[in-house]
Amino acid sequence: TAGESIVLRVSRYLPGRDAEPVPRDYEVPLREEWSVLDGLNHVKDVLDGSLAYRWSCRMGICGSCGMTVNGEPRLTCGTFLSEFAPGPVVVEPLRGFAVIRDLVVDIEPFLGKLASVTPWLVRNGAEPPPDAEFAQTPEQLGAYKQFSMCINCMLCYSACPVYALDEDFLGPAAIALAQRYNLDSRDMGAAARFDVLAAAGGVWDCTYVGECSAACPKGVDPAGAIQQYKLTAAMETVRRFLLPKGAR
C-alpha cells in the first residue's frame, strides 16, 4: 500500500578496512511490485551510493544478483519485498564465497570449476555431417536441455553443505554443465570429462542432500545430474580398470 515501508538490513563490508561485516538498516518503500533488487537499487540511488552489489538483467536471466535473503540463497530480482513484510529483509552476500565488498563475492573459483569440465562440444576431429547441420531429435535434445538452462547464479553452491565444508568440491552447477555436454548426441568428450568428474572432489563427494536442486531458480536438477553421473562413472570405472583389455 502507498506510504508503507520496509527495512532492508544490508551487510556492509570492505575487507582490509572493516574487521567484519556489519549490518546496516535502510528504510525503503514497500511496493507490491518491488523486488529485493529494487529495494537495493533504491538504497543505491537515493540513500547510500556507496553500496556495492551485482545485477544486470532484472529478469532472472543473467544470474548476477544472487544473494542470501533472510538466510536463503535467492535471486534478488525474483524475490519480492512483500514476501518478508513487515520485515526486516536481511540481505547478505552469497555464502560460500569470499566477499570482495558488501554484497559482491569472488566468482573466480566458480568460473574455474566450470572451465575444468570441458564445457563445449568436443568432436575429436570428426567430420561434420554432409549438410553441415547437426540435426537432433526432440528426444536427443530432451536428454540434456534442462542442464542447459543454468544461468550460473551460484545459488546451488551456496545451498550445498558439501561445498560449505570443502571448497575443492567440483559442485552442482559444474557437474550439471558436464552432463549438459555428456548427454548431447553431438559430443565426443565424455572420456576427458570422466577424469575430472570421477576424481577426488568430483561426483563421489556428493552426499545427495538435494539442496542444490531446491535452490535452483531455473528448474535445473544438479542433484539428479550428479546421481545420473555416479552410475555412468561406476560403469566407466569397471570398463577402464576392471575388465580385461580385450573385453573393454
Residues near ligand FES (CB under 6 A) are: 55-58, 60-65, 75, 77
Q: How far is the CB of 225 from ligand FES (least distance, A)?
A: 21
Which is nearer to ligand FES, 42 or 58 (by Cβ)? 58
Nearest to 118 by CA among 170, 196, 184, 63: 196
Q: How far is CA 181 from CA 176, 184, 188, 199, in A?
A: 9, 5, 9, 18
Q: How far is the CB of 60 from ligand FES (least distance, A)?
A: 5
Which is nearer to ligand FES, 65 or 177 (by Cβ)? 65
Q: How far is the CB of 153 from ligand FES (least distance, A)?
A: 6
- First-residue to last-residue Cα distance in the chain: 69
Which is nearer to ligand FES, 57 or 238 (by Cβ)? 57
What backbone phi and psi angles, to 5 degrees, belong to 220? -75, 150
Q: How far is the CB of 69 from ligand FES (least distance, A)?
A: 12
Which is nearer to ligand FES, 67 or 190 (by Cβ)? 67
Which is nearer to ligand FES, 55 or 194 (by Cβ)? 55
Which is nearer to ligand FES, 60 or 201 (by Cβ)? 60
Q: How far is the CB of 55 from ligand FES (least distance, A)?
A: 4
Q: How far is the CB of 78 from ligand FES (least distance, A)?
A: 7
